[in-house]
């Protein structure tokens, strides 16, 4: 007896999601999505209200990234769906597994009703791996297919559009037992791996570039590969911590972070880039047109101007096999290695009335546990966090870098804290990003999450201010008079503090860590330092 017989589409979707291990559903409802919400509630999933659909999409995708099982975000039709767009685009370009469900006006009145009618499935097609309307087939099969699609490389978002009348209609049910869909078999190409090995053997100064396609489980195999060749490595921001950044072969963080000119010079000094899960979606410059590249990855990354000699397959086996094929190490000269390491060394600015952002980041790092999880938002502070925050373990650093969308930092911290209630979680954000996502404070309080948010307050969208000035324009529409973030936090029922020195900031963070309480810490920073570092 098929236990799904007689269920409607909403119930079938919810049951299938739950059967696939989906435990969390985030969103902001409208009346038309009610049947789906009720079905999720009955299927024992946690249904969580967010203050904006973008937060729902961001929380769910970071949760999916950490756990490997997609979480769900939902929205109502029309404006609810359009509000999901930035979060979905973020999942698309940051390669994060995510399943979204939006309502749609009833199928029966679609042709006649124009109020709130947006062709949601078409709107989301370019920013999802698949975008489709529920109704003409078994929703259980469809949900399972979509979950597999969201997870398989490159991971990404899938959109399911549920017309409100279809939600309550009986779902056609395939009689046979539905097996969980199998992952595609990973074919390993030994020939390409050997060609790649030969190319590495002919190189004099290879440089590893480890990117977001490297799964956490491959960390140890990748470390063996790097240490076997004894060549230095760069990481991209989205995979910070995959190898410890106090490793003697670590030469910095590539892809548009602070000190990018120095990183590009390091890249130019190499005669071969060995990409490991490197995805050019993180590169804001096309240095790969001038430098020869080889790469291992789970899917081909060849696109645009990036055409490396690739070996495609399971990343753990590829890294392990390649390490086994390497006949002799190829280290860089000691002096050069040291010089490239030193070039990134920067001393925080001491002049200026307010706190140095770099000094603050270094101070926070020394206070925060080695395995603590940190997220950041988008802006000047992100470029410093990417380069100067030291990460030591896989999965301990999160930023938006494919889309680079403001608003990412706090939802990402919420996801991390929900997955790891016992671990220290901190989000470092600009004041612009904080204001954009202030509604998330409601959720932090509601779920009693001991997240520490540090706001680098400079009363400016500083990255854009700098960009305008570098283009020869006076600053326009970038400066603002921010609120007192400590009192804002109080208004939300969260502890708020203001620190005017690095030592005060460290003390506040230490206290919050000790008492495991949430904290919104405002630190007025000196934006002049950004002009020197970004």
Ligand X SMILES: Cc1ncc(C[n+]2csc(CCOP(=O)(O)OP(=O)(O)O)c2C)c(N)n1
Closest distance of CB 355 from ligand X, Å: 13
Q: Which is nearer to ligand X, 4 or 381 (CB)?
A: 381
Q: Which of residues 423-442 bind ligand X (CB under 6 A)?
A: 430-433
Is residue 378 within the footprint of ligand X (CB under 6 A)?
Answer: yes
Closest distance of CB 517 from ligand X, Å: 24
Q: Which is nearer to ligand X, 285 or 307 (CB)?
A: 285
Residue with tokens 């056609």, as numbered in its chain: 172
Closest distance of CB 54 from ligand X, Å: 9
Q: Which is nearer to ligand X, 266 or 380 (CB)?
A: 380
Query: What is the C-alpha separation between 91 and 155, in angstroms, rounded?
Result: 8
Is residue 387 within the footprint of ligand X (CB under 6 A)?
Answer: no
- Residue 530's Cβ-side half-sphere holds a number of Cα atoms within 13 Å equal to 26
First to last CA, the chain: 63
Closest distance of CB 464 from ligand X, Å: 5
- DSSP single-letter state for residue 137: S
Among 61, 391, 404, 518, the residue binding ligand X under the rule CB under 6 A is: 404
Q: Which is nearer to ligand X, 11 or 529 (CB)?
A: 529
Write the DSSP assignment of 356-420 as a string of letters.
-HHHHHHHHHHHS-TT-EEEE-SSHHHHHHHHHS---STT-EE---SS--TT-HHHHHHHHHHH-
Three-state secondary structure of 156-171: CEEEEEEEHHHHCCEC
Closest distance of CB 81 from ligand X, Å: 18
Q: In what order do the strands lie in the sheet with 24-28?
A: 46-49, 24-28, 72-75, 98-104, 157-163, 130-133
Is residue 88 within the footprint of ligand X (CB under 6 A)?
Answer: no
Pair 39, 91: CB distance under 8 Å: no
Q: Which is nearer to ligand X, 378 or 505 (CB)?
A: 378
Closest distance of CB 383 from ligand X, Å: 8
Is residue 380 within the footprint of ligand X (CB under 6 A)?
Answer: yes
Distances 118 to 54, 123, 157, 363 between C-alpha atoms, Å: 18, 8, 19, 49
Residue 75: its H or E element: strand 72-75
Closest distance of CB 459 from ligand X, Å: 8
Q: Which is nearer to ligand X, 85 or 178 (CB)?
A: 85
Q: Which is nearer to ligand X, 91 or 319 (CB)?
A: 91
Residue 515, C-beta contacts closer than 8 angstroms, at least 6 positions apart: none
Is residue 237 within the footprint of ligand X (CB under 6 A)?
Answer: no
Interface map 453-492 toward ligand X (x if CB under 6 A): ---x-x-xxxxx----------------------------
Q: Which is nearer to ligand X, 310 or 377 (CB)?
A: 377
Among 95, 129, 144, 381, the residue binding ligand X under the rule CB under 6 A is: 381
Is residue 379 within the footprint of ligand X (CB under 6 A)?
Answer: yes
Query: What is the C-alpha separation between 409 and 397, in angstroms, rounded?
Result: 10
Closest distance of CB 147 from ligand X, Å: 28
Query: What is the C-alpha separation between 273 and 236, in angstroms, rounded?
Result: 13
Query: Would you tell me which residues interact with ligand X (CB under 6 A)?
Result: 377-381, 404-407, 430-433, 456, 458, 460-464
């Amino acid at each position: 007896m098929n236990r799904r017989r007689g269920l409607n589409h909403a119930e079938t979707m919810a049951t299938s999601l739950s059967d696939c291990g989906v435990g969390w559903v985030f969103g902001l409802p409208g009346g038309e999505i009610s049947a789906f919400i009720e079905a999720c509630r009955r299927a024992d999933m946690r249904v969580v209200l967010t203050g904006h659909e973008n937060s729902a999409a961001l929380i769910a995708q970071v949760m999916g990234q950490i756990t490997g099982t997609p979480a769900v975000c939902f929205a109502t039709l029309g404006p609810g769906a359009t509000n999901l767009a930035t979060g979905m685009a973020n999942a698309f370009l940051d390669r994060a597994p995510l399943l979204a469900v939006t309502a749609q006006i009833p199928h029966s009145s679609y042709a006649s009703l124009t109020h709130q009618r947006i062709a949601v499935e078409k709107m989301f097609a370019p920013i999802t791996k698949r975008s489709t309307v529920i109704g003409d087939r078994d929703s259980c099969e469809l949900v399972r297919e979509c979950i597999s699609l969201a997870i398989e490389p490159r991971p990404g978002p899938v959109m399911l559009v549920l017309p409100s009348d279809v939600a309550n209609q009986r779902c056609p049910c395939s009689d046979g037992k539905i097996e969980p869909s199998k992952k595609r078999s990973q074919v390993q190409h030994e020939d390409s791996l050997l060609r790649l090995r030969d190319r590495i053997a002919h190189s004099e100064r290879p440089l590893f570039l480890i990117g977001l396609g490297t799964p956490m489980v491959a960390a140890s195999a990748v470390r063996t590969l790097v240490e076997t060749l004894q060549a230095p490595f760069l990481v991209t921001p989205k995979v910070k911590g995959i190898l410890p950044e106090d490793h003697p072969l670590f030469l910095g963080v590539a892809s548009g972070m602070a000190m990018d000119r120095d990183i590009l010079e390091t890249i130019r000094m190499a005669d071969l880039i060995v990409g490991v899960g490197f995805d050019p979606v993180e590169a804001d410059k096309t240095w790969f047109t001038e430098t020869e590249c080889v790469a291992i990855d789970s899917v081909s990354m060849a696109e645009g101007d990036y055409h490396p000699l690739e070996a495609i397959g399971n990343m753990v086996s590829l890294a392990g096999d390649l390490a086994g094929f390497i006949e002799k190490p190829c280290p860089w000269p000691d002096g050069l290695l040291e010089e490239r390491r030193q070039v990134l060394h920067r001393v925080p600015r001491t002049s200026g009335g307010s706190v140095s952002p770099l000094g603050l980041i270094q101070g926070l790092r020394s206070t925060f546990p080695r395995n603590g999880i940190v997220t950041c938002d988008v802006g000047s502070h992100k470029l410093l966090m990417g380069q100067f925050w030291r990460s030591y373990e896989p999965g301990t650093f999160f930023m938006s870098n494919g889309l680079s969308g403001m608003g990412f930092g706090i939802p990402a911290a919420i996801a991390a804290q929900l997955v790891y209630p016992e671990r220290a979680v901190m989000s470092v954000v600009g004041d612009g990003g904080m204001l954009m996502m202030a509604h998330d404070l409601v959720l932090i309080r509601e779920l009693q999450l001991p997240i520490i948010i540090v706001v680098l307050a400079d009363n400016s969208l500083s990255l854009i201010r700098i960009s305008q000035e570098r283009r020869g324009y006076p600053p326009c529409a970038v400066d603002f008079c921010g609120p007192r973030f400590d009192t804002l936090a109080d208004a939300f029922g969260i502890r708020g503090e203001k620190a005017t020195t690095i030592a005060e900031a460290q003390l506040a963070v230490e206290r919050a860590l000790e008492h495991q309480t949430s904290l919104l810490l405002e630190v007025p920073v000196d934006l002049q330092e950004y002009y020197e570092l970004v």
